Amino acid sequence: MPAAKERLLFVTGKLAESALRATVEPLSTAVGFEYEIVTLKISVAALMTPQWVARQLPDIKNINRIILPGWCQGNLDVLQQRVDASVILGPKDLRSLPEFFDQKLESIPGYGAYSLEIIAEINHAPSLSMDAILSRALDARTSGADIIDLGCTPGHTWTNIEDCTKRLCQEGLRVSVDSFNSLEVQRAVQAGAELVLSVHAGKNGNLELARDLGCEVVVIPSTPSDWESLELAVEKLTFWNTPFRIDPILEPIGFGFARSLERYLNCRHQWPDFRIMMGVGNLSELTDVDSAGINVLLAGFCQEANIQSILTTEVINWARSSVKEWDLARRLVYFACENKVLPKHLEPQLHVLRDTPLKYHDPPFLKELSKKITDKNFRIFSEKGLIHVMNHRGYHQGTDPFTLFQKLISENTIDPHHAFYLGFEMAKALTALTLHKNYCQDQPLQWGFLTRDEAEHHPFETE
Protein backbone atom coordinates (compact mmCIF):
# COMPACT_ATOMS: atom_id res chain seq x y z
CA MET A 1 0.00 0.00 0.00
CA PRO A 2 1.59 3.34 -0.99
CA ALA A 3 2.48 5.77 1.78
CA ALA A 4 0.10 8.65 2.33
CA LYS A 5 1.20 11.91 0.76
CA GLU A 6 2.18 14.80 3.00
CA ARG A 7 -0.57 17.39 3.30
CA LEU A 8 0.55 21.01 3.27
CA LEU A 9 -1.31 24.19 4.10
CA PHE A 10 -0.11 27.36 2.38
CA VAL A 11 -1.07 30.64 4.03
CA THR A 12 -1.21 33.72 1.81
CA GLY A 13 -2.74 37.16 1.38
CA LYS A 14 -5.32 38.36 -1.11
CA LEU A 15 -2.92 39.72 -3.71
CA ALA A 16 -0.70 36.66 -3.92
CA GLU A 17 -3.42 34.01 -3.98
CA SER A 18 -3.71 33.51 -7.74
CA ALA A 19 0.07 33.41 -8.25
CA LEU A 20 0.45 30.96 -5.38
CA ARG A 21 -2.17 28.62 -6.81
CA ALA A 22 -0.51 28.71 -10.23
CA THR A 23 2.84 27.82 -8.64
CA VAL A 24 1.71 25.16 -6.17
CA GLU A 25 -0.50 23.15 -8.52
CA PRO A 26 2.29 21.78 -10.77
CA LEU A 27 4.70 21.66 -7.83
CA SER A 28 2.42 19.34 -5.84
CA THR A 29 2.49 16.84 -8.70
CA ALA A 30 6.25 17.11 -9.21
CA VAL A 31 7.18 16.85 -5.53
CA GLY A 32 4.30 14.63 -4.48
CA PHE A 33 2.18 16.33 -1.82
CA GLU A 34 -1.42 17.32 -1.29
CA TYR A 35 -2.27 20.86 -0.34
CA GLU A 36 -4.76 23.46 0.74
CA ILE A 37 -4.49 27.24 0.46
CA VAL A 38 -5.90 29.62 3.06
CA THR A 39 -6.24 33.24 1.98
CA LEU A 40 -6.33 35.62 4.91
CA LYS A 41 -7.88 39.08 4.86
CA ILE A 42 -4.70 41.03 4.22
CA SER A 43 -3.05 42.32 1.06
CA VAL A 44 0.57 42.75 2.16
CA ALA A 45 2.15 39.50 3.29
CA ALA A 46 4.98 41.44 4.95
CA LEU A 47 2.50 42.70 7.54
CA MET A 48 1.63 39.20 8.74
CA THR A 49 2.92 38.03 12.12
CA PRO A 50 2.52 34.56 13.65
CA GLN A 51 0.33 36.09 16.37
CA TRP A 52 -1.97 37.66 13.78
CA VAL A 53 -2.09 34.45 11.72
CA ALA A 54 -2.94 32.46 14.85
CA ARG A 55 -5.98 34.67 15.41
CA GLN A 56 -7.12 34.64 11.79
CA LEU A 57 -6.45 31.05 10.79
CA PRO A 58 -9.57 28.87 10.64
CA ASP A 59 -9.63 25.43 12.22
CA ILE A 60 -7.56 22.99 10.21
CA LYS A 61 -7.52 19.21 10.12
CA ASN A 62 -5.33 16.53 8.58
CA ILE A 63 -2.45 18.92 7.82
CA ASN A 64 1.19 17.92 8.30
CA ARG A 65 2.89 21.25 7.66
CA ILE A 66 1.83 24.88 7.52
CA ILE A 67 3.93 27.08 5.24
CA LEU A 68 3.79 30.81 5.95
CA PRO A 69 4.99 33.54 3.58
CA GLY A 70 8.69 34.21 4.07
CA TRP A 71 7.91 37.80 5.05
CA CYS A 72 6.05 36.71 8.18
CA GLN A 73 8.13 37.98 11.09
CA GLY A 74 7.97 36.86 14.70
CA ASN A 75 8.08 33.79 16.92
CA LEU A 76 6.49 30.82 15.14
CA ASP A 77 5.89 29.08 18.49
CA VAL A 78 2.84 31.28 19.02
CA LEU A 79 1.15 29.66 16.03
CA GLN A 80 2.72 26.26 16.64
CA GLN A 81 1.00 26.01 20.02
CA ARG A 82 -2.38 26.45 18.39
CA VAL A 83 -2.15 23.89 15.57
CA ASP A 84 -1.38 20.20 15.36
CA ALA A 85 1.14 20.59 12.54
CA SER A 86 4.68 21.85 12.04
CA VAL A 87 4.96 25.51 11.08
CA ILE A 88 7.71 26.77 8.79
CA LEU A 89 8.51 29.86 6.75
CA GLY A 90 8.53 29.55 2.98
CA PRO A 91 10.55 31.77 0.63
CA LYS A 92 9.89 35.51 0.44
CA ASP A 93 9.36 35.17 -3.30
CA LEU A 94 6.72 32.52 -3.97
CA ARG A 95 8.32 31.91 -7.38
CA SER A 96 11.19 30.33 -5.41
CA LEU A 97 8.99 27.56 -4.02
CA PRO A 98 10.47 24.94 -6.41
CA GLU A 99 13.98 25.69 -5.12
CA PHE A 100 12.62 25.80 -1.58
CA PHE A 101 11.37 22.24 -1.86
CA ASP A 102 14.61 21.13 -3.49
CA GLN A 103 16.47 22.45 -0.44
CA LYS A 104 14.34 20.28 1.79
CA LEU A 105 15.51 17.16 -0.03
CA GLU A 106 18.70 15.40 0.97
CA SER A 107 21.84 16.91 -0.53
CA ILE A 108 23.40 15.12 -3.49
CA PRO A 109 25.35 12.15 -2.07
CA GLY A 110 29.07 12.64 -2.53
CA TYR A 111 28.92 16.25 -3.65
CA GLY A 112 31.59 18.43 -2.09
CA ALA A 113 34.51 16.02 -2.35
CA TYR A 114 37.56 17.07 -4.37
CA SER A 115 41.05 15.97 -5.33
CA LEU A 116 42.66 19.25 -6.47
CA GLU A 117 44.96 21.06 -4.05
CA ILE A 118 44.89 24.86 -4.09
CA ILE A 119 48.12 26.81 -3.59
CA ALA A 120 47.37 30.52 -3.10
CA GLU A 121 50.23 32.91 -3.78
CA ILE A 122 50.73 36.14 -1.87
CA ASN A 123 52.55 38.20 -4.48
CA HIS A 124 55.44 40.50 -3.54
CA ALA A 125 55.25 39.31 0.05
CA PRO A 126 58.51 41.08 1.08
CA SER A 127 56.83 44.44 0.49
CA LEU A 128 54.02 43.66 2.94
CA SER A 129 53.92 43.86 6.72
CA MET A 130 53.70 40.67 8.74
CA ASP A 131 50.15 41.54 9.76
CA ALA A 132 49.15 42.08 6.13
CA ILE A 133 50.66 38.77 5.06
CA LEU A 134 48.94 36.92 7.89
CA SER A 135 45.60 38.56 7.10
CA ARG A 136 45.82 37.60 3.43
CA ALA A 137 46.91 34.08 4.31
CA LEU A 138 44.01 33.54 6.70
CA ASP A 139 41.56 34.95 4.15
CA ALA A 140 42.93 32.57 1.53
CA ARG A 141 42.55 29.62 3.88
CA THR A 142 38.96 30.63 4.59
CA SER A 143 38.34 30.77 0.83
CA GLY A 144 39.66 27.25 0.40
CA ALA A 145 43.45 27.45 0.00
CA ASP A 146 45.40 24.40 1.17
CA ILE A 147 48.88 25.95 0.95
CA ILE A 148 49.97 29.60 1.24
CA ASP A 149 52.73 30.49 -1.19
CA LEU A 150 55.08 33.34 -0.30
CA GLY A 151 55.91 35.09 -3.56
CA CYS A 152 59.35 36.69 -3.29
CA THR A 153 60.82 39.58 -5.28
CA PRO A 154 63.52 38.73 -7.90
CA GLY A 155 66.81 40.52 -7.31
CA HIS A 156 66.02 41.16 -3.64
CA THR A 157 66.81 38.95 -0.64
CA TRP A 158 64.00 38.86 1.91
CA THR A 159 65.84 38.78 5.20
CA ASN A 160 62.64 38.33 7.24
CA ILE A 161 61.33 35.29 5.36
CA GLU A 162 62.24 32.90 8.16
CA ASP A 163 60.20 34.80 10.77
CA CYS A 164 57.28 35.12 8.36
CA THR A 165 57.27 31.41 7.56
CA LYS A 166 57.40 30.50 11.25
CA ARG A 167 54.49 32.82 12.01
CA LEU A 168 52.31 31.30 9.30
CA CYS A 169 53.18 27.80 10.44
CA GLN A 170 52.31 28.70 14.02
CA GLU A 171 48.84 29.64 12.73
CA GLY A 172 48.47 26.11 11.39
CA LEU A 173 49.05 27.15 7.78
CA ARG A 174 50.96 25.10 5.26
CA VAL A 175 53.58 27.22 3.50
CA SER A 176 55.46 27.17 0.21
CA VAL A 177 58.08 29.61 -1.04
CA ASP A 178 58.27 30.99 -4.58
CA SER A 179 61.86 32.08 -5.19
CA PHE A 180 65.01 31.32 -7.17
CA ASN A 181 67.10 32.86 -4.39
CA SER A 182 68.84 29.96 -2.64
CA LEU A 183 69.25 31.87 0.63
CA GLU A 184 65.54 32.73 0.79
CA VAL A 185 64.59 29.16 -0.04
CA GLN A 186 66.85 27.61 2.57
CA ARG A 187 65.67 29.96 5.32
CA ALA A 188 62.02 29.34 4.48
CA VAL A 189 62.45 25.56 4.43
CA GLN A 190 64.30 25.61 7.75
CA ALA A 191 61.38 27.58 9.20
CA GLY A 192 58.79 25.07 8.02
CA ALA A 193 58.03 25.63 4.31
CA GLU A 194 57.08 22.31 2.73
CA LEU A 195 57.23 23.18 -0.97
CA VAL A 196 59.62 25.21 -3.15
CA LEU A 197 58.67 26.88 -6.43
CA SER A 198 60.60 26.29 -8.63
CA VAL A 199 63.73 24.47 -9.84
CA HIS A 200 64.97 23.74 -13.36
CA ALA A 201 67.97 22.23 -15.10
CA GLY A 202 68.62 24.86 -17.77
CA LYS A 203 71.46 27.32 -18.07
CA ASN A 204 71.91 29.09 -14.72
CA GLY A 205 69.45 26.58 -13.32
CA ASN A 206 69.05 25.90 -9.59
CA LEU A 207 68.29 22.18 -9.71
CA GLU A 208 71.21 21.27 -7.41
CA LEU A 209 69.50 23.29 -4.65
CA ALA A 210 66.77 20.63 -4.49
CA ARG A 211 69.21 17.83 -3.73
CA ASP A 212 69.65 18.57 -0.03
CA LEU A 213 66.62 20.69 0.83
CA GLY A 214 64.68 17.86 2.40
CA CYS A 215 61.34 19.05 1.05
CA GLU A 216 59.24 18.82 -2.10
CA VAL A 217 59.97 21.05 -5.08
CA VAL A 218 58.16 22.09 -8.23
CA VAL A 219 60.21 21.35 -11.34
CA ILE A 220 59.73 23.37 -14.52
CA PRO A 221 61.41 23.42 -17.95
CA SER A 222 64.12 26.05 -18.38
CA THR A 223 61.86 27.65 -20.98
CA PRO A 224 58.32 26.52 -21.73
CA SER A 225 59.34 24.83 -25.00
CA ASP A 226 62.49 23.15 -23.64
CA TRP A 227 61.09 19.67 -23.00
CA GLU A 228 64.56 18.12 -22.82
CA SER A 229 65.49 20.27 -19.80
CA LEU A 230 62.33 19.06 -18.05
CA GLU A 231 63.14 15.41 -18.80
CA LEU A 232 66.67 15.90 -17.47
CA ALA A 233 65.44 17.57 -14.28
CA VAL A 234 62.85 14.85 -13.64
CA GLU A 235 65.50 12.18 -14.16
CA LYS A 236 67.91 13.75 -11.66
CA LEU A 237 65.28 14.43 -9.02
CA THR A 238 64.09 10.84 -9.30
CA PHE A 239 67.66 9.58 -8.90
CA TRP A 240 68.17 11.79 -5.83
CA ASN A 241 64.88 10.59 -4.29
CA THR A 242 63.83 14.22 -4.01
CA PRO A 243 60.03 14.61 -3.85
CA PHE A 244 58.72 16.81 -6.66
CA ARG A 245 55.75 17.82 -8.76
CA ILE A 246 55.98 18.90 -12.39
CA ASP A 247 54.70 22.15 -13.91
CA PRO A 248 55.15 22.27 -17.72
CA ILE A 249 54.00 25.95 -17.57
CA LEU A 250 50.66 27.28 -18.80
CA GLU A 251 51.18 30.09 -21.31
CA PRO A 252 48.89 33.07 -22.09
CA ILE A 253 46.52 33.16 -25.04
CA GLY A 254 48.44 34.25 -28.12
CA PHE A 255 51.75 33.08 -26.69
CA GLY A 256 51.38 29.31 -26.88
CA PHE A 257 48.28 28.62 -24.77
CA ALA A 258 47.01 25.64 -26.83
CA ARG A 259 50.47 24.12 -27.13
CA SER A 260 50.99 24.44 -23.37
CA LEU A 261 47.82 22.44 -22.69
CA GLU A 262 49.23 19.78 -24.97
CA ARG A 263 52.38 19.71 -22.83
CA TYR A 264 50.34 18.95 -19.73
CA LEU A 265 48.71 16.01 -21.51
CA ASN A 266 52.12 14.81 -22.75
CA CYS A 267 53.48 15.16 -19.24
CA ARG A 268 50.72 12.97 -17.84
CA HIS A 269 51.27 10.42 -20.63
CA GLN A 270 55.04 10.26 -20.14
CA TRP A 271 54.91 10.24 -16.33
CA PRO A 272 51.56 8.65 -15.42
CA ASP A 273 52.37 8.31 -11.74
CA PHE A 274 54.08 11.64 -11.02
CA ARG A 275 52.41 14.63 -9.42
CA ILE A 276 51.66 17.59 -11.69
CA MET A 277 50.88 21.21 -10.81
CA MET A 278 49.45 23.95 -13.00
CA GLY A 279 50.15 27.65 -12.39
CA VAL A 280 46.95 29.26 -13.68
CA GLY A 281 47.76 32.97 -13.32
CA ASN A 282 49.00 33.28 -16.90
CA LEU A 283 45.42 32.76 -18.00
CA SER A 284 43.25 34.15 -15.20
CA GLU A 285 45.40 37.25 -14.64
CA LEU A 286 46.30 37.93 -18.28
CA THR A 287 42.91 37.57 -20.00
CA ASP A 288 40.30 40.34 -20.18
CA VAL A 289 37.43 38.42 -18.58
CA ASP A 290 36.13 37.70 -15.09
CA SER A 291 38.11 34.77 -13.76
CA ALA A 292 35.35 32.39 -12.60
CA GLY A 293 34.62 30.90 -16.02
CA ILE A 294 38.30 30.49 -16.82
CA ASN A 295 38.97 28.82 -13.49
CA VAL A 296 36.10 26.35 -13.88
CA LEU A 297 37.28 25.43 -17.38
CA LEU A 298 40.86 24.91 -16.20
CA ALA A 299 39.59 22.92 -13.21
CA GLY A 300 37.81 20.57 -15.60
CA PHE A 301 40.99 20.13 -17.62
CA CYS A 302 43.01 19.44 -14.49
CA GLN A 303 40.48 16.91 -13.22
CA GLU A 304 40.42 14.97 -16.48
CA ALA A 305 44.21 15.09 -16.88
CA ASN A 306 44.78 14.06 -13.25
CA ILE A 307 46.63 17.26 -12.37
CA GLN A 308 46.67 17.26 -8.58
CA SER A 309 47.41 20.88 -7.67
CA ILE A 310 47.13 24.42 -8.99
CA LEU A 311 48.85 27.69 -8.09
CA THR A 312 46.60 30.73 -8.28
CA THR A 313 47.03 34.43 -7.68
CA GLU A 314 44.57 37.24 -6.91
CA VAL A 315 46.42 40.31 -8.13
CA ILE A 316 44.31 41.89 -10.85
CA ASN A 317 40.81 42.98 -9.84
CA TRP A 318 38.89 40.60 -12.14
CA ALA A 319 40.69 37.65 -10.52
CA ARG A 320 40.48 38.79 -6.90
CA SER A 321 38.18 35.93 -5.84
CA SER A 322 40.07 33.16 -7.66
CA VAL A 323 40.77 31.05 -4.56
CA LYS A 324 37.08 30.76 -3.71
CA GLU A 325 36.25 30.14 -7.37
CA TRP A 326 38.73 27.27 -7.45
CA ASP A 327 37.37 25.84 -4.21
CA LEU A 328 33.87 25.70 -5.70
CA ALA A 329 35.09 24.61 -9.13
CA ARG A 330 37.16 21.68 -7.86
CA ARG A 331 34.11 20.21 -6.12
CA LEU A 332 31.96 20.68 -9.21
CA VAL A 333 34.38 19.04 -11.66
CA TYR A 334 35.25 16.21 -9.27
CA PHE A 335 31.59 15.25 -8.92
CA ALA A 336 31.03 15.56 -12.68
CA CYS A 337 34.01 13.38 -13.59
CA GLU A 338 33.51 10.79 -10.87
CA ASN A 339 29.80 10.35 -11.63
CA LYS A 340 29.92 10.92 -15.39
CA VAL A 341 27.33 13.70 -15.23
CA LEU A 342 27.35 17.16 -16.73
CA PRO A 343 28.65 19.93 -14.42
CA LYS A 344 25.27 21.62 -14.66
CA HIS A 345 22.63 22.55 -12.06
CA LEU A 346 25.01 21.50 -9.30
CA GLU A 347 26.82 24.64 -8.10
CA PRO A 348 24.65 27.79 -8.06
CA GLN A 349 27.32 29.70 -6.14
CA LEU A 350 29.31 29.93 -9.37
CA HIS A 351 26.47 31.74 -11.15
CA VAL A 352 27.90 35.14 -10.30
CA LEU A 353 26.82 37.35 -13.21
CA ARG A 354 23.49 35.87 -14.32
CA ASP A 355 20.78 33.79 -12.68
CA THR A 356 19.18 30.54 -13.67
CA PRO A 357 16.35 29.97 -14.07
CA LEU A 358 14.76 33.35 -14.77
CA LYS A 359 11.35 33.72 -13.14
CA TYR A 360 8.59 35.81 -14.65
CA HIS A 361 5.07 36.87 -13.87
CA ASP A 362 2.86 36.92 -16.94
CA PRO A 363 1.79 40.46 -18.00
CA PRO A 364 -1.92 39.64 -17.42
CA PHE A 365 -1.10 38.70 -13.83
CA LEU A 366 0.65 42.03 -13.17
CA LYS A 367 -2.21 43.96 -14.72
CA GLU A 368 -4.78 42.07 -12.65
CA LEU A 369 -2.68 42.48 -9.52
CA SER A 370 -2.53 46.25 -10.00
CA LYS A 371 -6.33 46.37 -10.06
CA LYS A 372 -6.58 44.55 -6.72
CA ILE A 373 -4.23 46.82 -4.76
CA THR A 374 -6.12 49.03 -2.34
CA ASP A 375 -3.24 50.42 -0.29
CA LYS A 376 -0.51 52.98 -0.98
CA ASN A 377 2.42 50.55 -0.59
CA PHE A 378 4.51 50.24 -3.74
CA ARG A 379 5.10 46.88 -5.44
CA ILE A 380 8.05 46.69 -7.81
CA PHE A 381 8.73 44.01 -10.43
CA SER A 382 11.44 43.56 -13.04
CA GLU A 383 9.86 41.57 -15.83
CA LYS A 384 10.74 40.86 -19.47
CA GLY A 385 12.61 44.09 -20.20
CA LEU A 386 10.49 46.45 -18.08
CA ILE A 387 10.36 47.79 -14.54
CA HIS A 388 6.81 47.67 -13.15
CA VAL A 389 5.76 49.89 -10.23
CA MET A 390 2.23 49.91 -8.81
CA ASN A 391 0.09 50.91 -5.85
CA HIS A 392 -3.54 51.92 -5.36
CA ARG A 393 -3.03 55.13 -7.34
CA GLY A 394 -1.61 53.67 -10.52
CA TYR A 395 0.45 51.17 -12.45
CA HIS A 396 3.47 52.28 -14.48
CA GLN A 397 6.08 50.41 -16.48
CA GLY A 398 9.21 51.42 -18.30
CA THR A 399 12.99 51.13 -18.47
CA ASP A 400 14.01 54.48 -16.96
CA PRO A 401 13.67 54.69 -13.14
CA PHE A 402 13.83 58.52 -13.31
CA THR A 403 10.86 58.71 -15.67
CA LEU A 404 8.92 56.25 -13.55
CA PHE A 405 9.70 58.21 -10.42
CA GLN A 406 8.38 61.43 -11.95
CA LYS A 407 5.10 59.68 -12.74
CA LEU A 408 4.87 58.37 -9.18
CA ILE A 409 5.50 61.86 -7.76
CA SER A 410 2.66 63.26 -9.87
CA GLU A 411 0.26 60.75 -8.32
CA ASN A 412 1.54 60.37 -4.76
CA THR A 413 2.81 62.33 -1.82
CA ILE A 414 6.22 60.71 -1.36
CA ASP A 415 8.31 61.39 1.72
CA PRO A 416 12.15 61.16 1.67
CA HIS A 417 12.14 57.65 3.12
CA HIS A 418 9.88 56.32 0.38
CA ALA A 419 11.82 58.29 -2.25
CA PHE A 420 15.13 56.73 -1.25
CA TYR A 421 13.54 53.30 -1.01
CA LEU A 422 12.02 53.55 -4.49
CA GLY A 423 15.29 54.76 -5.97
CA PHE A 424 17.27 51.97 -4.37
CA GLU A 425 14.83 49.25 -5.40
CA MET A 426 14.40 50.51 -8.97
CA ALA A 427 18.18 50.69 -9.39
CA LYS A 428 18.33 47.01 -8.41
CA ALA A 429 15.46 46.26 -10.80
CA LEU A 430 17.31 47.99 -13.65
CA THR A 431 20.48 46.05 -12.87
CA ALA A 432 18.46 42.85 -13.01
CA LEU A 433 17.06 43.81 -16.40
CA THR A 434 20.51 44.66 -17.72
CA LEU A 435 22.11 41.39 -16.64
CA HIS A 436 19.07 39.11 -17.01
CA LYS A 437 18.87 38.40 -13.30
CA ASN A 438 15.91 37.68 -11.06
CA TYR A 439 14.62 40.62 -9.05
CA CYS A 440 12.58 40.24 -5.90
CA GLN A 441 11.54 43.41 -4.08
CA ASP A 442 13.36 43.95 -0.77
CA GLN A 443 15.74 41.07 -1.46
CA PRO A 444 19.41 41.27 -2.52
CA LEU A 445 20.27 40.44 -6.10
CA GLN A 446 21.97 37.06 -6.19
CA TRP A 447 25.66 37.11 -7.11
CA GLY A 448 26.52 33.51 -6.24
CA PHE A 449 29.14 33.29 -3.51
CA LEU A 450 29.58 37.08 -3.72
CA THR A 451 26.00 37.83 -2.64
CA ARG A 452 25.76 40.36 0.19
CA ASP A 453 22.93 40.18 2.67
CA GLU A 454 20.63 43.20 2.81
CA ALA A 455 18.65 44.40 5.78
CA GLU A 456 14.95 44.66 5.05
CA HIS A 457 13.92 48.30 4.69
CA HIS A 458 10.51 47.99 3.04
CA PRO A 459 8.36 50.93 4.20
CA PHE A 460 5.10 48.95 4.10
CA GLU A 461 2.37 50.53 6.15
CA THR A 462 -0.69 49.03 7.77
CA GLU A 463 -3.69 48.93 5.48
Q: Say how many C-beta atoms besides its own lie within 10 A of residue 242's C-beta.
A: 19
Structure confidence at residue 104 (pLDDT): 42
Question: What is each CA distance from 125 to 118, 177, 452, in whole angstroms?
Answer: 18, 10, 30
Write the single-letter amino acid at 405. Answer: F
Cα torsion angle, 48, 52, 55, 61, sign: positive
Give the C-alpha separation, 116 to 309, whole Å. 5
pTM for the model stands at 0.84
Give the C-alpha separation, 380 to 378, whole Å. 6
Give the C-alpha separation, 342 to 323, whole Å. 23
Structure confidence at residue 127 (pLDDT): 95
- What is the Cα gyration radius of the chain? 29
Backbone angles phi, psi at 242, to 5 degrees: -90, 125
Structure confidence at residue 106 (pLDDT): 43
Beta bridge partners of 86: 65
How would you write the pLDDT of the chain (463 residues) with one tens digit per residue? 456 789 999 999 888 888 899 889 988 988 889 999 999 988 777 778 899 999 889 888 889 999 999 888 888 998 888 888 899 999 888 888 888 887 543 467 889 999 999 999 999 999 999 999 999 999 999 999 999 999 999 989 999 999 999 999 999 999 999 999 999 999 999 999 999 999 999 888 999 999 989 999 999 999 999 999 999 999 999 999 999 999 999 999 999 999 999 999 999 999 999 999 999 999 999 999 999 999 999 999 999 999 999 999 999 999 999 999 999 999 999 999 999 999 998 898 999 999 888 888 888 889 988 998 888 889 999 988 999 999 999 999 999 999 999 999 999 889 898 899 999 999 999 999 999 999 999 889 999 999 998 877 666 665 4
Strand ranges (DSSP E) for 40-95? 65-68, 86-89
CB-based contact 24:7 (threshold 8 Å) = no
- Our separate counts of H helices and E strands in the chain read 15, 15
Q: Are strands 86-89 and 244-246 parallel, antiparallel or unpaired?
A: unpaired
Structure confidence at residue 2 (pLDDT): 56
Beta bridge partners of 33: 6
Which domains are seen in the chain, by residue range? 6-104 (3.40.50), 117-345 (3.20.20.20), 363-450 (no CATH)
Structure confidence at residue 135 (pLDDT): 97
